[in-house]
């Protein structure tokens, strides 16, 4: 694999191929996502020595032909993508890495690496298959509990499934074998989680994971197969070290091979060190307590999980648990211990110090003696997680306010989905959940203003209408201005023809159609 591209060669190429940005077309349609932020983060300018070319391609709907759109320097990709014209009749892709040559994604021309990419597909959806957002939520819980993988930097909802992207410190193509191994290993771990958690309908695309020089879908473009837009969610910008992650992977893999135990999950050496310390602490606890009634089963399960965390094979962990059981009063039989740990043998349980302290009812003296404490080591992490959760909650609340504001003003669900860069079903679900919680999102003054704007639009529509009209086809919210409470009512669709309304007004003596409408539907009550 070649990876040489001198500064002189790069400068010559850039001079010969100046950047030409897309010319805005008639009815210009840009990607419906912040592709500039996405590309600027992936191909960050913090390593200028690793700046090659990225290629953008399109595939017309119903064909398998890839057409090159442009090849641009990696540091300019974000600006170029934000200006390009995209069509709903084609799929658009960009190379996952950087290359020495233009109009290629051939491994032989690979120049630099930027990230680890994992694709979770949902090609054959079952009736009980969760939507991508719910599937990712379940998967994230599993990643946090059963692995030591960091949170992915970027999540791209491809239209059917989703891509998980872990940014790495940009490096030369000669380290491609490391990226390939880590990508495949993470893919295997996630596939195991999908199976264990019974997330139906989703599977890891192994070919996508192993191909570090391939293509990936551009956020904000249309997926012609799924008939949906591709959206993007950026979570954080902290990059991991490719070399360090590979060292940890090799260490754990060698231990698994030596014990004839398959390596199913990602386990860095830092976690193994913590597991070893926990095993030593639990063995110390045996000598401090005399009566283990009520805590014996919990202790054996915690000890077995600590051994797994430390890199022990299941046979070694079971052997140590049986030995420890003989020192507990009252002790279990060997068969009872094996039955107790039968589930833990198949699954990997990650237990926090707070859980151990609670289940074993450790006193302050015991915590100090063995070195296991829920505080203060967990306080800093909880504070960090709390700050992150608050940030996510604030972002979610802002988005919910936007969705419900447009909904109250009469926007369609499809129009709202395009505006907030969410899929149709997600927006529909949000509206259903928030329909009775408007007071939590808006003040009374804001609601009065929104309803007033909606009423004005309705009146203007009625005055201008020269044909039959139909409105209020969904949930209609109205406010009792004399009260602080907000009510919700379902108004049936009403159709008026202009000639009919005129005749009816003459017979009833109504002043205008608006007054007649209010009288018929009793919306003002």
Contact in structure between 57 and 64 (CB atoms under 8 Å): no
What mean pLDDT comes out for the span 68-88?
90
Lowest mean pLDDT among 80-94, 180-194, 245-259, 328-342: 245-259
Instruction: 340-348: list long-range contacts, CB under 8 Å, 24+ apart.
Output: 340/297, 340/300, 340/301, 341/300, 341/301, 341/304, 344/301, 344/304, 344/305, 344/308, 345/314, 345/318, 347/146, 347/196, 348/146, 348/264, 348/265, 348/305, 348/308
Q: What percent of the chain is modeled with pLDDT above 70?
A: 77
pLDDT over threshold 50, residue 510: no
Res. 334 pLDDT band, cuts 50 70 90: confident
Res. 167 pLDDT band, cuts 50 70 90: very high
> How far are the Cα atoms of 291, 337, 354, 480 from residue 283, in angstroms, in the given order?
15, 17, 18, 67
What mean pLDDT comes out for the span 403-419?
87
- CA dist 328 and 301 (Å) reads 13
Q: pLDDT tens-digit profile of 69-78? A: 988 888 889 9
Residue 92: its pLDDT value, please?
A: 94
Q: pLDDT tens-digit profile of 458-471? A: 887 777 764 444 44
SS3 479: strand
Res. 145 pLDDT band, cuts 50 70 90: low
Res. 94 pLDDT band, cuts 50 70 90: very high
What mean pLDDT comes out for the span 235-247?
84
Res. 91 pLDDT band, cuts 50 70 90: very high
| Torsion sign, CA atoms 233, 238, 242, 245 | negative
Residue 449: its pLDDT value, please?
A: 82
* pTM over the 0.85 mark: no
Lowest mean pLDDT among 160-174, 255-269, 401-415: 255-269
Structure tokens at 156: 């791209």
pLDDT over threshold 60, residue 2: no
- At 33, give phi and psi (nearest 5°): -165, 165
Quote the radius of gyration of the chain (alpha carbons, Å): 30
- CA dist 100 and 109 (Å) reads 6
Q: pLDDT tens-digit profile of 194-216? A: 877 778 888 888 888 888 888 99
Summary mean pLDDT of the chain = 77
> How far are the Cα atoms of 94, 112, 435 from residue 108, in angstroms, in the given order?
17, 12, 55
Q: Indicate the domain borders of the chain.
A: 7-244, 270-375, 384-442, 456-525
Pick the CATH number of 7-244 from 1.10.3470, 3.30.420, 3.90.920, 2.60.40: 3.90.920
Q: Residue 272 contacts by C-beta under 8 Å, 6 or more apart in sequence? A: 251, 252, 309, 310, 311
Contact in structure between 387 and 395 (CB atoms under 8 Å): no
Residue 339: its pLDDT value, please?
A: 86
Element (H, E) at 69: strand 67-73
Buried b (16+ CB within 10 A) or exposed e, 436-472: eebeebbeeeebeebbeebeeebeeebeeeeeebebb
| Torsion sign, CA atoms 221, 226, 227, 231 | negative
Is the peptide bond prior to 330 cis by the omega test (within 30 degrees of 0)? yes
pLDDT over threshold 90, residue 484: no
- CA dist 343 and 332 (Å) reads 17
Res. 89 pLDDT band, cuts 50 70 90: very high
Res. 381 pLDDT band, cuts 50 70 90: very low
């Amino acid at each position: 694999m070649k990876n040489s591209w001198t500064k002189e060669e790069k400068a010559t190429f850039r001079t010969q191929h100046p950047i030409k940005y897309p010319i805005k077309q008639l009815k210009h349609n840009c990607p419906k996502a912040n592709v500039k932020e996405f590309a600027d983060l992936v191909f960050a300018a913090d390593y200028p020595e690793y700046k090659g070319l990225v290629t953008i391609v399109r595939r017309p709907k119903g064909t398998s032909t890839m057409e090159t759109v442009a090849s641009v320097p990696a540091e300019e990709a974000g600006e170029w993508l934000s200006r390009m014209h995209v069509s709903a009749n084609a799929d658009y892709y960009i190379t996952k890495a950087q290359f020495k040559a233009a109009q290629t994604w051939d491994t032989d021309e690979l120049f630099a690496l930027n990230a680890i990419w994992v694709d979770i597909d949902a090609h054959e959806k079952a009736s009980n298959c969760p939507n991508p957002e719910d599937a990712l939520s379940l998967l994230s819980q599993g990643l946090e509990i059963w692995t030591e993988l960091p949170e992915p930097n970027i999540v791209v909802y491809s239209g059917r499934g989703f891509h998980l992207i872990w940014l790495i410190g940009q490096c030369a193509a000669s380290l491609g074998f490391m990226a390939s191994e880590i990508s495949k290993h993470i893919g295997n771990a996630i596939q195991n989680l999908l199976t264990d958690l019974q997330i139906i309908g989703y599977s890891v695309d192994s070919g996508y994971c192993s191909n570090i020089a391939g293509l990936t879908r551009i956020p904000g473009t249309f997926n012609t197969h799924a008939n949906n837009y591709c959206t993007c969610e950026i979570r954080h910008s902290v990059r991991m070290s490719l070399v360090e992650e590979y060292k940890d992977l090799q260490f754990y893999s060698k231990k698994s091979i030596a014990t004839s135990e398959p390596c199913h999950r990602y386990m860095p050496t830092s976690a193994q060190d913590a597991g070893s310390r926990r095993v030593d602490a639990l063995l110390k606890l045996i000598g401090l307590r005399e009566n283990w009634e009520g805590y014996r089963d919990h202790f054996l399960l915690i000890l077995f999980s600590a051994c797994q965390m430390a890199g022990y094979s299941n046979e070694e962990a079971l052997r140590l648990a049986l030995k420890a059981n003989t020192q507990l009063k009252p002790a279990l039989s060997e068969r009872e211990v094996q039955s107790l740990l039968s589930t833990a043998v198949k699954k990997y349980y990650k237990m926090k110090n707070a859980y151990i302290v609670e289940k074993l009812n450790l006193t302050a003296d015991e915590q100090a003696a063995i070195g296991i404490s829920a505080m203060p080591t967990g306080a800093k992490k909880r504070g960090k997680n709390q700050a992150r959760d608050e940030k996510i909650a604030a972002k979610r609340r802002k988005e919910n306010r936007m969705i419900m504001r447009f909904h109250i003003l009469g926007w369609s669900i499809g129009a709202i989905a395009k505006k907030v860069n969410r899929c149709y079903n997600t927006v529909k679900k949000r509206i259903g959940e928030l329909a009775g919680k408007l007071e939590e999102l808006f003040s009374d003054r804001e609601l009065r203003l929104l309803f007033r704007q909606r009423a004005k639009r309705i009146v203007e529509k009625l005055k201008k209408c020269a044909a039959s009209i139909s409105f209020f086809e969904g949930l209609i919210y109205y406010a009792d201005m004399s009260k602080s409470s907000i009510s919700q009512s379902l108004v049936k669709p009403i159709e008026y023809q202009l000639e009919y309304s005129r005749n009816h007004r003459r017979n009833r003596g109504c002043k205008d159609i608006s007054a007649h409408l209010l009288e018929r539907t009793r919306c003002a009550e």
